[in-house]
Amino acid sequence: MRKAFFALAFLCLHLSTQANNLSVSNVGTTGQDMANDFTLVEFDLSWDNSWRLGATTRDAAWVFVKFQVGVKDPELSNASSSGTTVTVGSTANLRVGMPVVVTAGTGTLAANTVISSITNATQFELSAAPSVALSNATIVCRRIWEHATLNTTAGNHTAPAGSTIEVPSDGVGVFLYRSADGDGTFSVSDVQLRWEYGSNGVADDAVLQIQVFAIEMAYVPQGSFAAGSGGAENSAFTLTTINTATATTAPSGTGSLGGQAGGYPTGQTAPNVNWPNGYNAFYCMKYEVSQGQYRDFLNTLTYAQQVSRTINAPSSAAGTAALSNANRNGLDIQTPGVAATAVPAVYGCNLDGDGNFNESNDGEWIACNFLSWMDGCAFVQWSGLRPMTELEFEKACRGDQLPVANEYAWGTTAIAAAAYTLSNAGAADEGIATNYSTTDGNASYITTDGSLDGPLRGGIFSANGSNSGRISAGASYYGIMEMSGNLWERTVSIGNADGRAFTGLHGNGSLSTAGHATTSAWPGLISGELTGATGGGFRGGVWLSNATLIRVSDRTNAANTDTARNYARGFRGIRLAP
């Protein structure tokens, strides 16, 4: 039975990568334990084209929970201030990070002023002192979405029959996957995740809204792999067998997959000892961040955070582009925000441009282009994931197999060479109508793009009725889609000092008040916020690339630190396996 303090408002959304109809439904809570300050978040989960074959070949869902205290923004009258200290009648339902605005009375706050701490039952601190002190003022504190801390013992969660829950040590989320071999649609009911709401400072009697998010992932097991193919790719790594997780181990001798063996490629500068070199097991997003995923991300941010993660002011008119209305990006403002009172915008998918948002053909399953390095890092920190390194990219593509010179992500050099046309464009089942190759690898690049002029939906090639396996699906060795072509993969470069300083920490689910990632040693971190791209790079090519640029080992742009948003740039995150 749901406890009363959750009963007033539940928000149940179909979120995350929906290219294979991933669905979260029937979200609720049960089993509140007020003595130990936890409750169980309950939901159903399903997705298509799931698989498991043995202990090391599987997909999974990365599941995490967001919550919001209250169903109405707190409005407080007779507020006064002294310096940054504000005195009100009650601080109940106030949360650190809430934007604060003055709506009546005396007092002036700078834009983007937020609650920095809550002192006691009647006082809190602001991030900046009012330029005119509050006196008999009415203030509104805008509610925020926060990341829920989950219990870190697998046995304290309920995995329904046929499923396994794997729990990281930081409580940011869980992995859920099949407990036995199988393939096809995977559905489970009444999943229960233990939320330690006391750890998040939530009162026993708080009224909450809850969202459960899930992202499809593929497992990449621990083990040796080849960096570089021995082919003629531009700036490629000298073929090296990566056979240790110690990234500073200098290459030497003869590797089992070719070249020397060590912790980093021959001829490169050694990174720091904790640099993620791909040897350890990790999960990688199956698909690039979709437009629907980025919409759902934006809709959990404050006004100020939305400003940083979009190209137009959130207060712009309905139908204004969030990122761009070019090259098959249809993510728009659905309901304008209000800058003066810090009301965030609501974003929606509107690929057909008719102003009716989130219709079945509005493109939420299409890979999201126009993402900068900073946008992508903010998304993966918010998700509890992290950027991948360029060695992890190569491991995720070719697995533990002997390299093929000049290969694509599907492990051969044969590639489709006629322009595609689409069926059901913009829909969940957007497909290749003509020129799908049943023998060569399918990928979105300059020859096959034809007149499409933009990225395709995630998983489009594997869903084709003529698909005969990994090659025609354009899939990596581990079933990860569109690693060659569609949109550039953004990776941490071993080719410059900032990239080599990366230590692989995961995101904690929360952004700065300005909407930036903040995780230590992530490339582009400046004064505590990720506002640059030094140390980042590009791998895997794009829908407008020639065929050579989408080869696995091509490193033409591996150390390119450009910060711009454009038609070619997407993102996907990874996380080390627990």
Whether the predicted pLDDT of 4 surpasses 60? no
pLDDT at position 414:
98
pLDDT at position 21:
79
What is the C-alpha to C-alpha distance for residues 208 and 70, in angstroms, rounded to an integer? 5
Q: For the segment 565-578, what is each residue's pLDDT rounded down to a tens digit?
A: 999 999 999 999 99
Per the DSSP assignment, residues forming a β-bridge with 135 are 106
Whether the predicted pLDDT of 15 surpasses 50? no
What is the C-alpha to C-alpha distance for residues 65 and 145, in angstroms, rounded to an integer? 10
What is the C-alpha to C-alpha distance for residues 133 and 245, in angstroms, rounded to an integer? 56
DSSP class of 181: S
Yes or no: is domain 4-68+147-217 CATH 2.40.128? no
Number of Cβ within 10 Å of residue 230's Cβ equals 18
Per the DSSP assignment, residues forming a β-bridge with 82 are 85
Average pLDDT over residues 169-182: 98
Q: For the segment 522-537, what is each residue's pLDDT rounded down to a tens digit?
A: 999 999 999 999 999 9
Instruction: Read off the pLDDT band of 235 (50, 70, 90).
Output: very high
> Checking DSSP bridges between strand 146-147 and strand 132-141, what pairing results, if any?
unpaired
pLDDT at position 2:
33
Q: How far is CA 421 from CA 217, 363, 448, 449, 509, in A?
A: 28, 16, 9, 8, 39
The DSSP-derived string for 309-348 is HSSS-TTSPTT-BSS-SSTT--EEEEE--BTTTTBPPEEE
pLDDT at position 220:
98
Per the DSSP assignment, residues forming a β-bridge with 457 are 366
Report helix, strand and coil shares of the chain as percent, to nearest 5.
10, 30, 60
Q: For the segment 405-459, what is each residue's pLDDT rounded down to a tens digit?
A: 999 999 999 999 999 999 999 999 999 999 999 999 999 999 999 999 999 999 9
CA atoms within 13 A on the CB side of 176: 29
Q: What are phi and psi of 199, to 5 degrees?
A: -65, -25
Average pLDDT over residues 476-485: 98
Q: Name which of 215, 196, 212 is nearest 204 in CA terms.
A: 196
Share of the chain above pLDDT 90, in %: 96
Whether the predicted pLDDT of 16 surpasses 80? no
Whether the predicted pLDDT of 20 surpasses 90? no
Average pLDDT over residues 219-224: 98
Amino acid at residue number 107: G
pLDDT at position 10:
36
Whether the predicted pLDDT of 541 surpasses 70? yes
Whether the predicted pLDDT of 8 surpasses 50? no
Q: For the segment 489-510, what is each residue's pLDDT rounded down to a tens digit?
A: 999 999 999 999 999 999 999 9
Average pLDDT over residues 326-352: 98
Summary mean pLDDT of the chain: 95
pLDDT at position 14:
32
